Structure 1
Amino acid sequence: KYNLMSSENRLRADPYLYNWSRNLRFSSDVALVPDNMDQLRKIVTDPQYSCLKVIGTRHCFNFIADTYQNKPIGKKNAHISLEKFTDATVSREGPFPTIKMQPGLTFSKLIEVVDSHGLAIENLPSLPHLNVVGSLLTATHGSGHKFKILVDNIEEFEMMFANGQVKSFQKGKSPYFKHYLLTFGGIGIITSVTLRLEEGFNVSKSIFQ
């Protein structure tokens, strides 16, 4: 079975009970940590759960990441952590290099993988500990007025819907490609994203006093 963490254990084990700064306490009944896609599908289609929300690195300033506090009698609300979904594959096929990654990676881990292949991501947020997919779904940006938000680097993504079905969406081919991305996870669970990469480069910083 997937790892089901009770409220008592969560008080001791954390980190699923609070946001990153510990100023918000989530109201979900359990935190679920699936090992694979089959376990995730069982959670999503389990009728005992009234509301499911995925949490990443919990860098949230309000209760938008929390589950609904009101629920039908006999039902549970749960948070899902995809921290064990950390596979990543780099490809140099096609017009530009890409990386297909699961949603458990942070930017710091992603950069390690990309840099080991002599590649880079066009732009990055200032906080390397953020979850990549969570940042993309919330329209996170990098630095520089010439760059678009980070989600622009997505070439393809896979999403699991409430019935457990997984569908793939490709940029320029799939209807509503952009609409499905900036939904804060409200339509489905992103199970993989393919990001556009480029050749590695160096960045310098000068400080004048």
Structure 2
Amino acid sequence: MAMQDARHSLVQNASVDLKTLSVSALYDLVAPCVVPSGSPSARFANWSRTFHCTPLVVFEPCDVEQCRLIFELAQREQRTVRIVGAGLSPSDLACTSDFMLRTSKLNKLRVVDPEKHFVVCDGGIKLEDLERELATHNLALRNLGSISMQAMGGVITTATHGTGIEFKVLGDDVLSLSLLLADGTLVYCSRHENQDLFKATLCGLGSTGLVISVQIRVEPAFQLREAQVTRPFDEILANLDDIVHQAQHVRLWWYPQNKSVRVCSANRTTAIEPEHSEPSFKSFQPAFLTHHLVEFFLFLARIWPVLAYYIARYVAWMESAPKVVVGESGSILRADCRFAQHTTEWAIPYEHAQTCLIQLRDWLETEPYSENGTYPNFPIELRFSAPDDIWLSPAYGRRTCWIGIIQFKPYGLPVRYQELFRRFEAIMSSYDGRPHWAKPHHLGPHQLRRLYPHFDDFVAVLERVDPMGMFRNENVRRHIFGERGPAIDPRLFKQHKGASDSSFYA
């Protein structure tokens, strides 16, 4: 009922027939939400500083009516509109050469219903802000990904996931959405109303419309007890299924360089235990030795690549001691991303995980010595999730093992990564791997149609709700519609175009 009330109040805000306004009148009306061209916010760079763009115009609307004006103006001027939250995607997913709409001011928590265990929030609210507000009501999200800087709209439209073999991607907890379509219509959708639009928007890459509000399931706040232990890779491989099922949330950090795996297993707890902490004089040393010193040596590894091997062994040793941490759920589920980085992540069927890991191990032992080989950084992350029914979710219809690799960018400087990622991707593809939508990959509609049974249904929804392609930026046109050419090539958005950091596809 609360969601229905919120929906009707939004619909009642619609008023003037925008078609009667001239283009100049539209420009006057959107002027208050235009970011000045001289502002740093008029340019965009993703978190890892791997992709950059300078949109034609950047808008920061405060309400639905301003969004309608922007959409009308875009249609008149035949421009696309890219909707951007926090810009965390390490690919060019958020980049555009046309209009950009930042959702930073559409960021409120609207409804809290502790009895029915849901809240309604704006699509632009950041997870970290939502978590903070939920805590004041003694509530929490059931699961989280590694970081909480993302906007809610980005979380659900890219199938952001946490870990836990019984937990689905975060978007599965969404109960309903209010969506502003390209023609300015505000539509309500759920599993019971406008189902196709709902299934398409959850992991829709922002191409169905602007997520105005989200009704999402929450729970009473809870604590997690996480045990961390380092074990030999062969032991993990032999007992993988038991390890994955030994706790509610299991995350593995694999250091191939010293053949070890850091196992992080977290369960809910009601025990009164203090959150793990160390005196400041002790905590400084690990922070210095595993961050600042490591970053410096990674910088040197750009000149002497073999150093990357020894750095990884050093970090694995530094973090090898057993540890138990107890704390509120968010503090346990989130992870430290350390430095800016290139990264790619793929989702493979869980039943292929052991075989795939063996092949990855064999490849990584020879990669640095192959033609154009690269010393891989550390660690390789493994997470797990349950099957879901979201059309383009990489976990659609199957239990999933998510495998991600990274190449750190010390001090934000370019590093080699393209061939490493290509070879990793080839192995993942051989196991029917599906790429994480927010991360770089080069699959087009021909390959994606084979991987996703509802791919054509998704495209049909896009053509119905956005026939002129107003929400199709270069990334969507490339991957979903198979377009090619210099106007949509990701190199368009690369800051460094030298041999060491050219495009992922170069």
TM-score normalized by the length of structure 2 = 0.37
2:44/2:95 contact within 8 Å kept: no
Structure 2 letter corresponding to 1:161: L
The equivalent position to 1:42 in structure 2, one of 69, 74, 84, is: 69
| Residue 207 of structure 1: how far off its partner (Å) | 3.1
Matched, 1:25 2:66: no
The equivalent position to 2:87 in structure 1, one of 39, 58, 61, is: 58
Q: How far does the alpha carbon of each residue in 1:10-58 deviate from its partner, in whole angstroms, 9 at most, with x for none?
A: 4xx2474211222211142111101111111100111225110111111
State the structure with bigger RCO (CA 8 A, min sep 6), 1 or 2: 1
2:42/2:57 contact within 8 Å kept: no
Instruction: Give secondary structure in 2 for the equivalent of 1:157.
Output: strand
| Partner residue, 1:73 | none
Structure 2 letter corresponding to 1:120: A
1:83/1:103 contact within 8 Å kept: no
Instruction: Give secondary structure in 1 for the equivalent of 2:79.
Output: strand
1:119/1:200 contact within 8 Å kept: yes
1:2/1:35 contact within 8 Å kept: no
The equivalent position to 1:92 in structure 2, one of 80, 96, 114, is: 114
**Structure number having the greater helix percentage:** 2
Matched, 1:4 2:25: no
Percent identity of paired positions between Structure 1 and Structure 2? 24
| Partner residue, 2:142 | 122
Q: How far does the alpha carbon of each residue in 1:128-181 deviate from its partner, in whole angstroms, 9 at most, with x for none?
A: 212122011001101211100000000010110111110001223432121232
Structure 2 letter corresponding to 1:101: C
Distance 1:112 1:147 in 2: 22
The equivalent position to 1:167 in structure 2, one of 182, 187, 194, is: 187
2:42/2:58 contact within 8 Å kept: no
Greater Cα shift, 14-23 or 40-49: 14-23
The equivalent position to 2:159 in structure 1, one of 135, 139, 142, is: 139
Structure 1 letter corresponding to 2:202: L
Tell me the matched-pair count: 196
| Partner residue, 2:227 | 206
Structure 2 letter corresponding to 1:3: C
Q: 1:125 to 1:16 in 2, by over 3 A?
A: farther
| Partner residue, 1:191 | 212
2:123/2:214 contact within 8 Å kept: yes
The equivalent position to 1:113 in structure 2, one of 133, 140, 144, is: 133
Matched, 1:158 2:178: yes
The equivalent position to 1:101 in structure 2, one of 121, 132, 135, is: 121
Structure 1 letter corresponding to 2:227: S
1:87/1:102 contact within 8 Å kept: yes
| Residue 6 of structure 1: how far off its partner (Å) | 4.4
Instruction: Give secondary structure in 2 for the equivalent of 1:179.
Output: helix
| Residue 2 of structure 1: how far off its partner (Å) | 3.0
2:43/2:55 contact within 8 Å kept: no
Distance 1:48 1:4 in 2: 16
User: Highest CA radius of gyration, 1 or 2?
Assistant: 2
2:128/2:148 contact within 8 Å kept: yes
Instruction: Give secondary structure in 1 for the equivalent of 2:107.
Output: coil
Instruction: Give secondary structure in 2 for the equivalent of 1:127.
Output: coil
Q: What are structure 1's unaligned runs of at least 5 residues?
A: 70-76
Q: What are structure 2's unaligned runs of at least 5 residues?
A: 1-30, 230-320, 322-506
| Residue 204 of structure 1: how far off its partner (Å) | 1.7
| RMSD between aligned residues | 1.7
Distance 1:65 1:26 in 2: 9
Structure 2 letter corresponding to 1:163: D
1:33/1:80 contact within 8 Å kept: yes
Deviant stretches of 4+, over 4 Å: none
| Residue 4 of structure 1: how far off its partner (Å) | 1.4
2:107/2:126 contact within 8 Å kept: no
Q: 1:90 to 1:15 in 2, by over 3 A?
A: farther
